[in-house]
Structure 1
Amino acid sequence: MSHLQPMVANKLMNEFKHYTELKYSGKLLIKSTKGSKWNFYYQSGQIVWATGGTHPFRRWRRQMAQYCPEIDLDNMQLCSQDVSIDYWDYRLLESLYAQQKIKREQMNAVVENTIAELLFDLVQQANFSSVNSDRNQEIILPASTNLVSADKFFKLMEESWKNWSEAGLANLSPNLAPTVHRAEQLQQQVSSGVYKNFVTLINGKYTLLDLAVKMKQSVLSVSRSLLPYIFKGIIELVEVPDLPLRVIEVKDNYSITKSKTPTIPLIACVNDRPQVSEMLEEIIIHNGLRLINIQDAVHPLPILIEHKPDLIFLDLVLPVASGYEICAQLRRISLFANTPIIILTDSDRSLDRVRAKVVGSTDSIAAPLSADKVMGVVRKHIQPESKVKSLTTLDSGLLTLDS
């Protein structure tokens, strides 16, 4: 159910606190009359993520450069699907953590600072234009980090805005980029070393927020130091475009069954052996279920996160990472904390079964596969047998997603 009402800045925090008191779970969408929008994702009254605002990609680059410098964003293999949803950055963060490329404390820092930055951006813009709120309880993001009290975020935001305003910066957005407007006048007022630094950094390419990260200072101190030059017209603040991540277009390498009844359970199979995939496909579709066959055994996580299957069959022998490793990665993503994960093995060795349990698998089945084995484990872990059997009367077909 939608909740829509006009707000101004001095009422904004009461709106947020209201959702905290309600223990709200879902998305809170806020739009300004100037066309800006912000999404805040709540779980049980706490904010777990935020998106939107100005320059979402620049913001992501800043956060990663500051807290996860070991990640080379420009060399990440991203496809259009990875950045097609509002909370693409949250999913990428989850994926990096699941692959053990970043640590829990790094993820916490990115989450907390992203929320704080967007709250500040929202409040500043709300001081100059009215905003409307709208809620959507269909989108609930799982908390992948330790939840920070919403009240703490509000106090930090109020303090940041107070300091920003008292410094005479209320009318200046930290998303603007300073550039030297009168170079000769600047050269007369500063030393040659300072002038060189100015020309190198104050070139209209980096926003005040970008500069703060590059200079390892707070955005308040950087902006305050430039304010005298801005007032004199020596430095000008200009708008700059966002800096999107590099996205490559790839051919879809998975297929998914399509049913007239979307509530039918979706089974995923991560397997690069066509014979096994075809056998599972025949068994599962014949029994009226939906199936997503993922042949990309190198990067299966984004596809699984996008489709959220009810059960996952995971081949033990895969290139680059084994089924054990991918299972462990999935268990580190809160979205799959309770999803049944079934390891497919070539033999019924007790060692394989024990190791599969250690990494968090729910069950395992050994070759040769049969309809009884496959459907037995599906019925065991998804729902009572009678409900799965009843699905055999439903229509299902195969839709191949090829570009």
Structure 2
Amino acid sequence: MQGNLNEIDICSILQLIELGQRTGQLWVETYISHHNSKLGEDGANKYSPKQQSWFVFFLNGQIIYCQEGESSLSRITDYLRHYRVEMRIADKQIASLLSTDAPEYAYIWALLEQNIINPKIAASIIHGLVHETLFDLLSLHQGNFIFRQAAALAPQLNTFEIAPFVTKIMKQVQEWKQLYPHIQSPEQLPVLSDKVQMDSSLPAATVNKLQHWADGKTSLRQLARYLNRDILTVARAIYPYVQQSWLKLVYSATDKLDVHTDDWELKRKHRGRVVCIDDAIAIGETINSILQAQGYEAIALTNPLEALSLVFQLKPDLILCDIAMSELEGYEVCAMLRQSTAFRLTPIIMLTGKDGFIDRVKARMVGATDYLTKPFTDTELIMLVEKYINN
């Protein structure tokens, strides 16, 4: 069984495996928009798709384990921190574990066999890793998958019924989306942004805890592992502080990106900064080449979820946003941006492949400034951008 996630979603795939009581491995691959802190020769920030993959292991239609494609054992290390367990396995043994099909799973069993952890802790770690991996997988809307029947991982510490697990996590995924645009990704790093206001509004103990964790080095996902909580619980706990702007959430390369961007602006005055949000890489590259030739700074973002965070860092003068995107519709992106005072007045131009009246009405209803129908000419794009950016 193999295919594309545009044709069948992860939830349905898991249901088929459960109903067929299959034993084997499910491999899922997708590409995410990866922002690079370095600038190109033209001064524009570079964004490139990055491959990400996962493995899910089954026994008779139940889940044994889930693992990220590139395993460095860091996920388990994060959980061990919660239990105050220090790594005591020899480097040579760890190297041999990394060569297995499921190095994380083998590592957990090695810890068990050497009595470094007990079965209860091992079961808790496995549960947490399965939960967080399924959370990521059930949030996907595009990518490829292959299921292969194969011998099950052995030995098994425990197995998980798919239906109740998926039902619970799907509900969390829906609740997670309600935290947009303030919180978008488990990989974001909390950083204190207004300690003075926090000191005057919160108990000292709460401020100390936030100051300890919001160090700009610990992601929300890592924080969830350290505390042995699911990502939604952690996100809800910090949401009020992010909403009040006492905490800000950044990506690991965002601060560097900002520094380089500021340096560039000192060297060259642009006519304006335009961000294009479109999951079609070719469209972003085309718009970049057209606008950069006219003296604009153009930045293409292919992942709409990450874009919601990055635009707060980039502070564009105008936003071009495609309507039909797989992860998040352009209408939703526009509506979320309009909820923030920072983008109440920013021109947002919707890109659509349909020259229809309904699309225009929907765009206006969510606060879009104008629309541009694809395919468009260089002149049409330039005229529309010049119309809304005062030079």
Letter paired with 1:60: I
- Please say if 1:49 is aligned against 2:61: no
Write the mapping of 1:228-307 to structure 2, written as runs, cut at 5 A. Answer: 228-240=240-252
Write the mapping of 1:119-268 to structure 2, written as runs, cut at 5 A. Answer: 119-124=134-139, 126-127=140-141, 130-138=142-150, 140-168=152-180, 172-215=184-227, 219-240=231-252
Q: Which residue of 2 aligns with 1:81?
A: 96
**Contact 1:48/1:143, CA 8 A, preserved across alignment:** no
The percentage of aligned residue pairs carrying the same residue is 18
Letter paired with 1:32: T
Write the mapping of 1:382-393 to structure 2, written as runs, cut at 5 A. Answer: none
**Contact 1:27/1:40, CA 8 A, preserved across alignment:** yes
Q: TM-score, normalised by structure 2?
A: 0.52
Q: What's the CA shift string for 1:76-124, capped at 9, x where partnerless?
A: 3123222234511111112222334333333222222211110001222
Q: Which residue of 2 aligns with 1:28?
A: 26
Alpha-carbon distance in structure 2 between the residues aligned to 1:12 and 1:49: 16
Q: Which residue of 1 aligns with 2:107?
A: 92
Could you tell me which of 71, 81, 84 is aligned with 2:85? 71
Alpha-carbon distance in structure 2 between the residues aligned to 1:57 and 1:238: 24
Q: What's the CA shift string for 1:21-62, capped at 9, x where partnerless?
A: 222222110011322111001122111111106986442123
2:132 aligns to what SS in structure 1? helix
Number of aligned pairs? 233
Alpha-carbon distance in structure 2 between the residues aligned to 1:228 and 1:23: 43
- Please say if 1:38 is aligned against 2:51: no
Alpha-carbon distance in structure 1 between the residues aligned to 2:7 and 2:85: 37
**Contact 2:20/2:61, CA 8 A, preserved across alignment:** yes
Larger Rg: 1
Letter paired with 1:225: A
Q: Structure 1's 14 and 218: CA in aligned 2 closer, same or farther, altered over 3 A? A: closer
Alpha-carbon distance in structure 2 between the residues aligned to 1:151 and 1:104: 25
Q: Which residue of 2 aligns with 1:59?
A: 75
**Contact 1:29/1:134, CA 8 A, preserved across alignment:** yes
- What is the deviation of 1:179? 1.1
**Contact 1:52/1:86, CA 8 A, preserved across alignment:** no
Q: What's the CA shift string for 1:180-237, capped at 9, x where partnerless?
A: 2344454454455443333222111212233345456554343223223324544222
Q: What's the CA shift string for 1:131-166, capped at 9, x where partnerless?
A: 211123346312421322122321221232233334
**Contact 2:134/2:169, CA 8 A, preserved across alignment:** yes
Alpha-carbon distance in structure 1 between the residues aligned to 2:129 and 2:182: 20
Write the mapping of 1:91-110 to structure 2, written as runs, cut at 5 A. Answer: 91-110=106-125
Alpha-carbon distance in structure 2 between the residues aligned to 1:31 and 1:235: 33
1:24 aligns to what SS in structure 2? coil
Could you tell me which of 105, 111, 124 is aligned with 2:126? 111
Task: Give unmatched runs, 5+ long, in structure 2.
Answer: 33-50, 254-391
Q: Structure 1's 165 and 12: CA in aligned 2 closer, same or farther, altered over 3 A? A: same
**Contact 1:97/1:103, CA 8 A, preserved across alignment:** yes
Task: Give unmatched runs, 5+ long, in structure 1.
Answer: 242-403
Q: Provide the aligned C-alpha RMSD in A.
A: 3.1
2:65 aligns to what SS in structure 1? strand
Q: Structure 1's 208 and 54: CA in aligned 2 closer, same or farther, altered over 3 A? A: farther
